[in-house]
Amino acid sequence: MSSYEIACDDSPLKGSTLMIEEVPVLIFCSGCQAARPVSSMHLFCCAECGQPSSEVVQGKEIEVVALEIEEWAPSHG
Ligand SMILES: [Zn+2]
């Protein structure tokens, strides 16, 4: 049992699933001049060359995904 399940026990969220890794985070790397996956969710550095970047090009959706219970409709983007 995860901490999330424990937190949701005896709440309307009981039985729901926390979705936290559905959307890969991509940053724009100035070193590679391309969108790259991050090496770490905490550091936001290019997984290819290690260049740090705060320019997130994809992955902000993760805030929504993490709270989604049902009716997830990836239509906009
Ligand atoms: Zn890079």
Closest CA to 17 of 71, 73, 67: 67
Q: Is residue 44 part of a domain?
A: yes
Asked if residues 25 and 59 have their Cβ atoms less than 8 Å apart, the reply is yes
CA 59 vs CA 20, 32, 50, 52: distances in Å: 11, 19, 18, 16
Instruction: State the pLDDT at residue 21.
Output: 55
Q: What is the pLDDT of residue 33?
A: 96
At 5-15, the pLDDT tens digits run: 787 788 887 77
Ligand 1 centroid from CA 57, angstroms: 14
DSSP SS3 for 39: coil
What pLDDT, on the 0 to 100 scale, is given for residue 23? Answer: 66
Q: 22: Cβ–Cβ under 8 A, 6 or more apart, which residues?
A: 62, 65
Number of domains in the chain: 1
Low-confidence ranges of the chain (pLDDT < 70): 1, 18-23, 60-77
pTM given for the model = 0.48
Q: What is the predicted pLDDT for the residue at 13?
A: 77
Look at residue 55 and tell me if it is in a domain.
yes
Show the domain range for 57: 1-70
Give the distance (Å) from ligand 1 centre to CA of residue 58: 15
Q: How far is the CA of 21 from the centre of ligand 1 (A)?
A: 22
Say if 57 falls within a structural domain.
Answer: yes
Name residues with Cβ closer than 5 Å to ligand 1, which is an ion. Answer: 29, 31-32, 46, 48-49, 51
- Is residue 76 domain-resident? no
